[in-house]
């Protein structure tokens, strides 16, 4: 059974617990039309109050895609001709967290 993307999931990295969520959003132009899709991954250190959340935004654009329906899964983000990630899987989320922590 697939997980609901808005329900927080637990991830442990280097002995610290993080809760992670993913959501899809659309920005609109002045006429109310959807102009781009975004996938937002949020990692929050636990317990709450021990640091601010990390938000990573994946935006649709030239050479990039985010989920917007078939044939892509709801957690897929990537390059149209290259690498991709499934943000429902803990491995890619952990890799993104590791890079962010290494960069401070």
What is the per-residue pLDDT across 5-57, written as a single tens digit (0 to 9) for each? 568 999 998 889 999 998 888 777 788 776 778 889 999 999 888 889 999 99
Q: How confident is the model at residue 1 (pLDDT cuts 50, 70, 90)?
A: very low
User: Model pTM?
Assistant: 0.80
Instruction: Assess whether pLDDT exceeds 90 at residue 69.
Output: no
Residue, of 53 and 74, whose pLDDT is higher: 53
Hey, what's the torsion of the CAs at 6, 19, 95, 83, to 10 degrees? 0
Segment 77-90, tens digit of pLDDT: 888 888 888 888 99
8 Å CB contact between 81 and 52? no
């Amino acid at each position: 059974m697939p997980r609901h993307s808005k329900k927080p999931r637990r991830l442990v990295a280097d002995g610290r617990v993080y809760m992670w969520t993913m959501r899809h959003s659309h920005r609109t132009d002045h006429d109310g039309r959807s102009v781009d899709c975004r996938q937002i991954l949020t990692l929050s250190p636990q317990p709450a109050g021990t640091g601010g959340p990390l938000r990573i935004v994946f935006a649709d654009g030239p050479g990039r895609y985010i989920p917007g329906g078939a044939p892509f899964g709801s957690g897929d983000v990537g390059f149209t001709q290259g690498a991709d990630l499934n943000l429902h899987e803990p491995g890619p989320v952990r890799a993104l967290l590791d890079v962010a922590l290494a960069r401070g």
